[in-house]
Copies of this chain bind each other. A is one copy, B any other.
Amino acid sequence: MTEPQSSIRPYGDRLNDGAVQLSFSLPMSLSARSREAAKSIAGRLGLDRIRLISALDLGNGFSYYILYGTTAVEIDGQAIHLTDVERPLLDFWRINHLLEFELKKRVTVVGATIGTDAHTVGLDAILNAKGFGGESGLERYPQFRVVNLGAQVPPEEVLEITREEPVDVLLISQVVTQRNAHLENLTLLAEMLEAEGTRQDLLLICGGPYIDSQVALEVGFDAAFGPGTTPLAVASLIVEELLRKTR
């Protein structure tokens, strides 16, 4: 397929057919009325040639709808602006080299999953020597000193560490995002560091499968990583940012 550059539209079976699939439930029992309701919702979302191809009774006054339709929406390929930029990745050796000879110091990285969130696998994937997706984790880098606080760490405790140790980078993981639990935690930590006056002394980075980078930056983080992040991506960013700071 040769990619269209200017106007990009969904593709179902041929270029620019604009085909999309949509599904949602309604708090209505299944009926001719509920079917119409489903169709008009699809209509209000701007779909044309709407086909309600499945309408299912979910029990207790709920129903579920699967629809296909087409959208006229087309977006300009050139005009796409990237939020999470694909940074050029450095390699293991380059990173250690830069740290040792340019930054001239061993970098202390502290990681924690804060709040009541008990998910450690994501953070461990970045920190543990074992690493993730075939890449070794930060512990394997001679030039990183890694302190992994694990899960369910109260923000206060993280603050403690920054007082006791020469922390250069904080890596905060948040996996549970129900009811925005993660935002409360992240905001709180960022504010505490501000209050403490140590915010500028360190890199504040968060990550997690459901983190919206824009929002993370807004609440005061330097960077945010989403699903599928690799240790190298994190290490690369750390080095660049630290070097930038020294300039």
Contact = CB atoms under 8 A, between A and B. Distances in A.
A77 interface: yes
**Number of copies of this kind of chain in the complex:** 2
A68 to B, nearest CB: 10
Interface residues of A, number: 47
Contacts of A210: 51
Contact of A32 (B36, B37, B82): B82
Interface string A55-91: 0000011100000000101010100111111100000
A27 B41 contact: no
A46 interface: yes
Interface string A1-35: 11110001011100100011111111111011100
19 contacts: A1-B60, A1-B61, A3-B27, A10-B26, A10-B41, A11-B25, A20-B45, A28-B77, A33-B80, A36-B83, A37-B75, A37-B80, A40-B80, A41-B71, A44-B71, A44-B75, A45-B45, A45-B71, A51-B210
